[in-house]
Structure formats: C-alpha cells, structure tokens
Chains A and B, each alone.
Chain A
Amino acid sequence: MNLDGMLDNGMLGLFFVVIFGIILCTIFSFSRFQRISLRNISAFTDFVHEVSSAIETGQRLHLTLGRGSLNGVQGASAFIGLSILGKIVQSSYLSDYPPLATSGDANWSILSEDTYNKAAKEIEPDTRIQTDVNQMGGFTPMSYASSTLPIIYDQHVSLNVLSGHFGSEVALITDAAERSGARTLAGSDGLTAQAIIYSSVDDPLLGEELYAAGTYVQSGPQHLASLITQDVMRWILVLIILGGGLLHFLGILW
C-alpha cells in the first residue's frame, strides 16, 4: 500500500467518519426516543447493585483507567472510564468513603482529576476534594498494576471498575480483586486484556460492550444516541462486507 493508496484510504475513512457523525447528530437531535430497549448485560445490573450496596455498607469504589496513551487509538476506552467515573462520583461522593480513581498514564490521571472535581461539585457546590482520591499509579505497565494492589487490598474496596487499555498486567489487578473478595467490572479495548478478563472476572465486558457503559449507567442521552449509531454502522459494515465480497467473488470488484 503506497502513499496515494493511503490517501484514498484517508478519503474513504473521512467519508465513513462523516456519515457516522451525521447519523450520530441526527439521532441525538431527535433524542426524545420512542421506546427502545437494550439487551441485558448482567455486568451492568450487578454494577448498580454493587454501587448502592457499597454506599450502604460503607465500602469504597475503585475505578482504574488503564495505561493507554491519550494520543492514540487506545485512548477511547478510558474516555468511557471517565464517564463511568463521573457517574460513580455523583452517586457515592457524599458517602463515608468517596470513590478512588487510579490511572497508569499521566494524561488520564489529570483528566480523571478534572472529571472527579466536576462531578463532585455538581453534588456539593462548595466542596473541597482531597487530592488523594485521584492517584497516578506507575508509568510502566507492571508498576502501574502493582501500584493498584495496595488500594484494592487496604482501602475497603468492594467494587473495582477497570475501563481502559491494559495488557497482560491486568491479571494482577483482577487476581488481587478476587483475593480481596471484591467484585470487578472490567472491560478493555486490547484483546490481551479481554482474554484475561474473560477468564478471571465474573461478568466480563467483551469488546464493544464496554463502549455501551455510558448508556447502561445513564450518563446522558448522547450515549444512547451513539449506541444506536454504532448499531446502524454495524449493519452498514455487514452489508458492505457481504456486498463487496459478492462483487469480488463475481470478479466485478478488483
């Protein structure tokens, strides 16, 4: 694939993105939806129960954003983590133990601090957030993972939310959560992490399911809009693949 190949791929991609955006905006603008129901994802049901029971039993929630760099494809899953964080903070900030957020990349620790403050201020306008609720873990994967262990063990964490980019080191985190008797809600964009999560977490979030989190925890209408858009684009992709494959098989295309 040479340069102009890349270029017209670029145009193709731009076209794709533009269509995506148009559909997203139209659905978003018509956001007073006729009834729509989503398929059950047990992880999210448990999530809400865990959040409420954590507040009642005076336990902590711990959310960790992974180590994907902000400047790259890996970032998006941590954006989801941020919106979950906002939700968690809104729901449990005033409880005895405010939730904790850790991250393995500097940018995400800054952003999680911002999200945390914003959500907390919505709950209690004149509040002072202590700085320790947002922690930068470590900068290498393993040091990041091991830096979350003391939190999981010592901080009365009842639910660990893993949303972001992880590698094989995620096994340390899930294992620690298992040992400490806490539950885990985990999803990632990396297949390595997904494989480990699938094998070692009770209700794993596979692949795209993580990106639906915003809708399932009701972070706002825009999440539902984007979810519907994802479904639309999914079927468009399926049609493209089938049609293109047929044409190609008949020798019309290429």
Chain B
Amino acid sequence: MAEIRCHSCGKTNPANSEFCSFCQAVLGSTAVGNVQEPSLNSEYHPTNETLPDPVETNQVSQGRDPSMEGKNPLAGLDNALPLEPTVRDLTKPVVYPVQSSETDIQKAYTLLLSQMVKDETKRPTYTRSAPKKSQSILRIVVAGILFFTILVPILWNKPAAQLPSLSTELILFDQKISELSPGATVLYSVDYDPSATAEMEAASWAVINQLMARDIQLVLVSTTPTGPVQAARLVQNIISTQQNQVGSPLPASQIINLGLIPGGSAGLASFSENPSFFLKDATEMQMGENPASEQTQPVLDLTSISNLAMVVVVTDTPETARNWIEQVQPWLGGKPLMMILSAQAEPLIQSYYEGGIRQVEGVVISVAGGAGYEELVGIKGPALEMWSAFVNASWIAGTLIILAGMIHLVYTQMVQEKQGSGEKTS
C-alpha cells in the first residue's frame, strides 16, 4: 500500500488521503518525490519537455483551490506566495497519486488555464538588460568631479579651509589622557577592518602620540581576525615615528601585542571576566614573534581588567563598539572607556556617549575628530594633512547628490515620456 509523507509534519498518511491527518497540510502538492512506492520514483524520469499532465496540473491547482483554504496551514494565506505550484512542478518528476478522477482533471485544466493567463499578465517578461550607458557615464562624471576636487588641495597643498570645531568629547578625551599616571597600562583594541585603516589611523594618530608621550604601557588586543597584523603594523609605525622624533627606539616593554580575542561578543565577555585565561595563550603566542612584545612581565598582573588605567577602542563597525560597551564597560570598575570611531559607526553609538548615562567617556570621530585632536594638542598629523581635501570632498559629495539627483530625475522623466510606456522604473 502506497503511503504519502506529509511535507510539513513529516508523518506518513495513506496515499488516498487528501490532507495530512496530523497537521491538515495538503498532501498532493507536497508529497511529490516522497512517495514510498519505489516503482514511481525509479521508473519515471521526466524531462523539462514533459507536457502538462492531468495530475501535475492537479497539483498545480491545489495551492489555489479556494475550497482548500484553511486546510493547509499556509494555503489560506493571501500574499503567502506558493512556490511549489507555480514553479516547482514545471521541472518535477510526475507522480500518479492513486486518486485522480475526471472532475479533478477538468477542474485542474480550467484552473491551470486561468493560472497561466494570470501569470502571463503578472510576471514581468525577463530580459537581461545590458548595463545602461547613462549609468556608466554618470559614474564616470561623478568620479571625475570627486577626484578633481580632492586632488586640488592635495596638489597645491592648500591649508585647511577651516579647522574642525572642538567637540566636548575631544576635550574630555584629552582630560582623561592627561589624568593618566606615567607607566600606567592602557588597553588599546585595534578593531577595524583593513579597509578602514586609512580613516582609523588618521583618527587615532594623535591619541597614540599622546599616550606614547606620557610613556604609557600599551597593551594591544583585537577581536577582528586581521587585527593582530594591524596591531603589529601599528607597532612598526609607532617605533619608526618614535625613532624619527626622539631618535631612540622605545623600550620593548612599552608595547605588548596580545593578539586576537576570538569569539565575538561572547569572547569579549569571558575576556572581561578573566583576562588571564587569554593572557596565557597570548604570552605563549607572542614568544619570539614580535620584537616589541618579548617581555610580557608587566601584563601578568592583568588579573582583572579593572587594573587597567584606561581602555581605548578603535573600531569602524557599530557592532564591535556595542560589544565593547556592553561586555567590557560594566567590568571596568569606573575606569574610562574611550572610543575612536569611524564615521559609519557614529550614528549608532551616539546615544552611548551623549545620553544621560555616559558609558563612553570620550570619543574621537573619524578624520574630523582626529584633525580636531591634533589641533588641540598642537601636532601636525595625517588627519590635518587630509583635512582640507576631506572637507572639499564632503561638500562636493553633498552638492553632487542634490544637483545630479535633480538632473537625473528630470532626465529619467523625459526618457519615460519619450518612451510613453508606463513601465515601472522602481
């Protein structure tokens, strides 16, 4: 005796039953390929040329049959779009259920006909439109204008149009750094994707300089997979700049690269609960890898992260920033949590340092923040270098969006009128 397995609840029903006796799902359309009778599956191998056949159309009908509504948990749903009936059966091995009566077939044909008509009217006939010329022209024009406005101030290195305004967060940031006692340990998390390196290094350059100037002991960690390399690159840059400025390489104990904190938010949580667990791996990992981090003595007192004098998080994604705020900040025991954010993280993190409860005590945001901080502490770094070009770029970008948007709107309207067809552009 043939049996049909129900598609939605998986239980088996006698083949001549129309609905699953357990979950009331319609069996005809869903039982295809699940029929237990081997002869049906093994012998019949249809091709795409299979003509629409009574039973197949019968299956087609069932998703739409008004009398079925409410039987199948989903058949009754308006707007719950049945994929099987319209699509799946076009290419499906056809199976002959035991019950297929004349009336079924006739009903099926009529329904199929109406279905086909409806589909022909509804379905957009598919044409693989080649990339429009206007689009690529638009792209090239935008690129040209943008490049030009950026290149001008770079070439004739024009002084910054107007120095960025100092936000209160910057001043707070500087206060907190100046409150640090020399030799204190600062956790500095390098948490940005490689693609954001330019922006984040411009934003963080002045901060790192200030930390180095107060000979802070910097502990580098990261939660992003490429983070350790970024940290090592950072160490290299710091060492080279130190050699350029002071002339003497800084003591190896001053920067320690702890490497990766894996496991995302959960990993951060367990790091903030007992850092020593990660410390073990980190110290072992560090052996003979990074010249700047051979000596790992000072880290070993990192039994709890409240021993840290400050935590500075440099990140470009709001998710990472929120992880640090939610997982680490509660454990800091009042020690400040600082953030150096990319512009794309700003809107979502805003509420954490503007709100009534300030969970983040100071932020440097993007190039503007970096330039502002360099201006505040009176050093000339990458942020100030790119500042004027950045200002031009942002202004021209806004203008482009408005003007070109208007032009493009008018253009498309004209084109549509020319075509005179009501084809939808959206």
Contacts and interface: CB of A to CB of B under 8 A. Distances in A.
A and B touch in the complex (CB under 8 A): yes
Interface of A: 1-3, 5-6, 31-41, 44-57, 59, 69, 71-74, 87, 90-92, 94-95, 122-125, 139-142, 158, 167-169, 178-182, 190-192, 202, 215-218, 220-221, 224
A192 B319 CA distance: 10
21 contacts: A31-B73, A35-B77, A36-B76, A38-B79, A39-B79, A44-B79, A49-B122, A52-B86, A53-B126, A55-B87, A59-B128, A87-B83, A91-B84, A91-B87, A167-B317, A178-B135, A181-B128, A181-B131, A191-B318, A216-B80, A221-B73
A37 B79 contact: yes
A141 to B, nearest CB: 6
A125 B77 contact: no
Contacts of B48: 94-95
B83 A51 contact: yes
Contacts of A192: 317-318, 344
Interface of B: 8, 23-25, 33-34, 41, 48, 69-71, 73-74, 76-84, 86-88, 90-93, 119, 122-126, 128-131, 135, 193-195, 225-226, 263-266, 317-319, 330, 344, 348, 426
B89 to A, nearest CB: 10
Given A35-B69, A36-B76, A71-B263, A140 B193 contact: yes
Nearest to A215: B80
A94 B23 contact: no
Contacts of A33: 70, 73, 76
A35 B76 contact: yes
B79 A40 contact: yes
B81 A218 contact: yes
B73 A32 contact: yes
Contacts of A181: 128-131
A193 to B, nearest CB: 11
Contact of B80 (A38, A51, A124): A38
Contacts of A142: 193-195
B86 A48 contact: yes
Contacts of B265: 72-73
Contact of A224 (B25, B73, B122, B194): B73
A196 B426 CA distance: 16
Contact of B266 (A34, A47, A72, A218): A72
Contact of A37 (B24, B78, B119): B78
Contacts of B266: 71-72
A53 B125 CA distance: 7
Contacts of A2: 330
A216 B70 CA distance: 16
Contacts of B34: 122
Given A38-B79, A74-B319, A142-B193, A158 B126 contact: yes
B112 to A, nearest CB: 14
Given A158-B126, A215-B80, 11 more contacts: A5-B330, A31-B23, A52-B86, A74-B264, A91-B84, A91-B87, A123-B33, A181-B130, A190-B318, A215-B74, A224-B74
A29 to B, nearest CB: 10
Nearest to A139: B225
Contacts of A37: 77-79
A140 B81 contact: no
Contacts of B131: 178-181
Contact of B319 (A36, A57, A190): A190
B82 A90 contact: no
Contacts of A74: 264, 319
B79 A49 contact: no
B70 A35 contact: yes
B126 A54 contact: yes
B83 A217 contact: yes
A140 B197 CA distance: 13
B87 A52 contact: yes
Contacts of B91: 55, 92, 94-95
B59 to A, nearest CB: 14
A213 B279 CA distance: 43
B24 A123 contact: no
A169 B316 CA distance: 13
B311 to A, nearest CB: 16
A80 B32 CA distance: 24
A36 B83 contact: no
B8 A57 contact: no
A53 B123 contact: yes
Contacts of B88: 90-91
Nearest to B7: A220
A26 to B, nearest CB: 15
Given A71-B263, A158-B126, A181-B131, A224 B87 contact: no
Given A44-B81, A53-B124, A122-B33, A32 B23 contact: yes
A44 B124 CA distance: 14
A74 B193 CA distance: 17
A9 B7 CA distance: 40
A218 B83 contact: yes
Nearest to A165: B319
A57 B123 CA distance: 13
B312 to A, nearest CB: 21
A32 B264 contact: no
Contacts of A180: 131
Q: Shortest 5 CB-CB distances between A and B: which pairs? A: A221-B73, A37-B78, A72-B264, A53-B126, A94-B91
A235 to B, nearest CB: 21
Given A45-B81, A158-B128, A181-B128, A218 B74 contact: yes
A220 B6 CA distance: 11
B344 to A, nearest CB: 6
Given A45-B81, A140-B225, A59 B33 contact: no
Given A94-B92, A221-B73, A191 B195 contact: no
Contacts of A72: 264-266
Contacts of B8: 220-221
